[in-house]
Structure 1
């Protein structure tokens, strides 16, 4: 992992440590595991309860080289774990697909909102999936289990 990617993840962690204690207890950090099509890359998601919805902030430390720039990624919440996903997504979070390049190098940031409360997501197995656009093959490139 190179310095800009490490820096981006460290900055996100430092920012989150500055949050109020009660809010921190309710937040959920999700490690996004790269699939074989994106091996060696890293990503992190932070889920924050917002009443009946959940805010999701993603820091993405790399996408496959064939991914069109600017990077556009589809985001889904599936029932089940990454190892045992349901057949179709429970939630598609794709009103906007564009990522924001906040740091030097191949690091991108995305913000999403899920129309479901965080406690409801945590009540049973769910997984968060990042997928390339159909023009880039429509491949899953990251998956993280929501516990």
Structure 2
């Protein structure tokens, strides 16, 4: 699979360069729509997104596993009919207030559903798997993928801290 975007993480600003301005604009719209669930979007310039840098979960160490807080965040997104559709530890960052935020909103979708794709997966939710994940195991909290929340943190929905 070819790379859809390149990311450079700086001390205070992170840049994400998409292959097209349209892809960048589509992702930027999610950062603007759910500013409480994502790092702050600073600017969009053609195919380039400029975001405020937050600490990636994988750099926070094993002591930062905000399962209950992430669960609440995903419930709040679901209440608004929003599904990120790529929830895993590499797409999780720690906000400046210590709360979890999601990055990489390329696969997000608005679709009312009885269950959250991000918490329960595509089969239970009825929300479609993103095209970019076709032929691969989808990412959601309990996905069998190596980087899923369940695989990495040893907890499942509802959020249970190990």
Query: Is TM (by shorter chain) over 0.5?
Result: no
TM (norm. structure 1) is 0.25
| Higher RCO (CA < 8 A, seq sep 6+) | 1
TM (norm. structure 2) is 0.24
Q: Which has the higher strand share?
A: 1
